[in-house]
Amino acid sequence: MLFRECAEVFEKLESISKRLEMTSILADFFRKVPSNEIQPLIYMIQGILSPPFLSVELGLGERFAISAIASSAGYPIKEVEKNFAKSGDLGKTAESLLEKKKQLSLSSRKLDLIYLYNSLVKIAKTSGAGSQELKIKLLTELLNNSTPLESRFIIRFVIGELRLGVGDPTILDALSVLKAGDKSLREELDRAYNICADLGLVAKIFMESSEQIKHFKVKPFNPLIPALAERLSNSEEIINKIGKCAVENKFDGLRLQCHKKGELVEIYSRKLEKMTHMFPDLVKEIKSLKQDEIIFEGEALAFNKKQDRYFSFQETIRRRRKHGIEESSKEFPLNLFVFDIFYIDGRDLTKESYTQRRKYLEQIFPTTLLKLSENKIVSTAEEMEILFQNAIKENLEGIMAKDLNSPYTAGKRKFAWIKLKKSYGKSVDTIDAVIVGYYLGKGSRAKFKFGGVLTAIHNPDSGKFETIANIGSGFTEEEMNNFEKILNKIKSKKPSKNLIFKTEPDFWVKPKYVVEIAFDEITQSPTHTCGMENDKGYALRFPRIVKLREDRSENEVTTTKEIIDMYWLQFKNKK
Ligand code: ATP
């Protein structure tokens, strides 16, 4: 398939915002795509070259893309920069400059989708001395062979700004519509995607045979998208919702998913990036398990022998960075509190109940470093409250209540797990939001160039970010300097194309850094666009940053729906 056809569809997609319309455009398009080309096409629509756990990344910043545009279009770099300063969109800059050049030359050959994809993978894999020059040369060649419209999307893709506004749910809908004419196959597709985290692979298998998707199974080295917990505000509500249930401590550590097949072990982060090299101690222990193939997950915490306590997530990370991996493994050994299991020797366990999965867990763990996340079965709110208060006394985040009959709900926030956390000020919980801009300091803060951040949550239905809070307080001097440093590197001239906003910071930044925010209350506000209807959105009262969440990507922040649920939860709490 020619990339020209894809670029034309991309242009159509970015001009519309209605999900139904996008779904039908995509379904019609997928129908025309040869089945061996669907996998790379899906990755490209997602703006990636591979699923996150294979981490094939381009590593090309704006500067390199500007050099390639300059040499392909025959303009000095300064000229490209000037055009970019005006357009604020490097893709559009490439398009307009190449447009002028193409009127003068007739040389370009037709760019094939697979050729383009393979060339981008080649760029990503180029490393070592002189690799940056080679990357620019390869990108220049691609631009030489592309039409102006194609170059718009190639450039946006390489700088990580493709953002067609098409979320994974829309792609899954389109696949279902393609074969069934409606969304009836969506559930099977969803499950397959959630247990392998590879939408390109799911689409490929589905195009070959939708029957295969029905029987899709968990497999070592294809991490599952983690299950998420709903929140309720007290033990009574939890018991009313799920009845007799298991209660586990909620540890504030690093969520890790461990895969073993024979001698091979991989450990994935919550974002599904490979972290194996970070945990040599855990790898050794996992290798020694007697199961040939196994997949399980847990929360890792470093143990402070001197103080006889576990470090929190932030301390665990800091120690590892400061003391090096080998050193800190000795001084602050990691324990993994294993809380779920998905697969043993060819058997997919994700459809089995919590009670059943727990039986397997108890047979295998604890080992020396792989501890079992202890649980207690409770039937009343009073019993649960005692466990919750104990957890708080032990300085833990709270508890997780788990439905005894529920399967593992990969990729979903469901009432299979319910978290009950200690309150922060008056709020029931903290939220995670991505920084989309920052302010300059005023008054006594003017000496730091940093005065606060504008943050946004994510609306998966529209694929957009919506603002929720300006945060100007709660920073130490050191934190202000740190934020200034990291945000300055990702400054951009215009807001992200996917951001809906009503308030403007001094500087926009690419949505990248996620922060956990405590607050007093969720209120309605005309300034922030979270869940906005009739000019009223949702905003946080007295927001304070708790910490930077390095285990989160920008699309994994709190969602609009969660904010609205939390807004209503407050009224219940006040009663
Ligand atoms: P939070 O911001 O409240 O930590 P989260 O947004 O990271 O939550 P949630 O789905 O809301 O994710 O809460 C589940 C998280 O709690 C998991 O990601 C996991 O890292 C952590 N956790 C700690 N202890 C447990 C446990 N016993 N069972 C399951 N998850 C646990």
Domains of the chain are 3-158 (1.10.3260.10), 228-421 (3.30.470.30), 431-574 (2.40.50.140)
Residue percentage of the chain with pLDDT more than 90:
66
* Minimum-distance ligand 1 atom for the alpha carbon of 429: 3
* C-alpha 355 to ligand 1 mean position (Å): 19
**Atom 4 in ligand 1: which residue has the minimum CA distance?**
252
Give the model's confidence band at 322: pLDDT under 50 very low, under 70 low, under 90 confident, else very high: low
* C-alpha 417 to ligand 1 mean position (Å): 9
- Higher-pLDDT residue of 109 and 4 is 4
* C-alpha 267 to ligand 1 mean position (Å): 18
Ligand 1 neighbourhood includes 299 CB (under 6 angstroms) = yes
* 369 CB-near residues (< 8 Å, 6+ apart): 281, 282, 285, 333, 334, 335, 336
Ligand 1 neighbourhood includes 549 CB (under 6 angstroms) = no
pLDDT score for 480: 80
Annotated catalytic residue 250: yes
- Alpha helices, DSSP H only, in 35-185? 38-46, 62-73, 77-87, 90-102, 113-125, 131-144, 148-158, 168-180
Which one is catalytic: 204, 250, 421, 510? 250
DSSP state of 555: G
Residue 502: which of 456, 545, 553, 568 has the closest Cα?
Answer: 456
How far apart are the C-alpha atoms of 559 and 276, rounded to whole Å?
30
pLDDT score for 325: 72
Average pLDDT over residues 468-489: 85
pLDDT digits (tens, 9 = 90+) for 226-282: 999 998 888 999 999 999 999 999 998 899 999 999 999 999 999 899 999 989 999
**Atom 12 in ligand 1: which residue has the minimum CA distance?**
228
Q: How many helices (H) and strands (E) does the chain have?
A: 21, 23
Ligand 1 neighbourhood includes 547 CB (under 6 angstroms) = no
State CA 427 to chain mean position distance: 25
State CA 393 to chain mean position distance: 32
* Minimum-distance ligand 1 atom for the alpha carbon of 250: 24
Ligand 1 neighbourhood includes 271 CB (under 6 angstroms) = no
* C-alpha 317 to ligand 1 mean position (Å): 17
**Atom 16 in ligand 1: which residue has the minimum CA distance?**
250
- Higher-pLDDT residue of 536 and 323 is 536
Give the model's confidence band at 448: pLDDT under 50 very low, under 70 low, under 90 confident, else very high: low
Q: Which residues pair with 539 in a beta bridge?
A: 523
* 74 CB-near residues (< 8 Å, 6+ apart): 101
Is the confidence at residue 571, as pLDDT, over 80? no
Give the model's confidence band at 195: pLDDT under 50 very low, under 70 low, under 90 confident, else very high: very high
Pick from 32-36, 167-171, 243-247, 547-551: least confident: 547-551
Is the confidence at residue 193, as pLDDT, over 70? yes
pLDDT digits (tens, 9 = 90+) for 119-136: 999 999 998 888 889 999
Ligand 1 neighbourhood includes 513 CB (under 6 angstroms) = no
What does each C-alpha distance from 472 to 83, 445, 454, 480, 506 come to in angstroms? 34, 10, 9, 10, 13
pLDDT score for 456: 97
Give the model's confidence band at 107: pLDDT under 50 very low, under 70 low, under 90 confident, else very high: low
Is the confidence at residue 55, as pLDDT, over 90? no
DSSP state of 159: T
State CA 107 to chain mean position distance: 41
User: Side chain identity at 365, as an amino acid letter?
Assistant: F
How far apart are the C-alpha atoms of 135 and 119, rounded to whole Å?
10
* C-alpha 228 to ligand 1 mean position (Å): 7
How far apart are the C-alpha atoms of 532 and 503, rounded to whole Å?
13
What is the secondary structure of 212-243 as a DSSP string? HHHT----TTSPPPPPEEEE-SSHHHHHHHH-
**How many residues belong to the chain?**
575
Residue percentage of the chain with pLDDT more than 70:
94
pLDDT score for 574: 56
Average pLDDT over residues 340-368: 97
Helix (H, G, I), strand (E, B) or coil at 274: strand
Pick from 202-216, 473-487, 499-513: least confident: 473-487
**Atom 19 in ligand 1: which residue has the minimum CA distance?**
255
What does each C-alpha distance from 281 to 30, 86, 221, 262, 286 come to in angstroms? 45, 52, 19, 17, 9
How far apart are the C-alpha atoms of 175 and 192, rounded to whole Å?
13
Indicate the burial class of 143 (C-beta count within 10 angstroms; 0-12, 13-18, 19 or more).
buried
Give the model's confidence band at 441: pLDDT under 50 very low, under 70 low, under 90 confident, else very high: confident
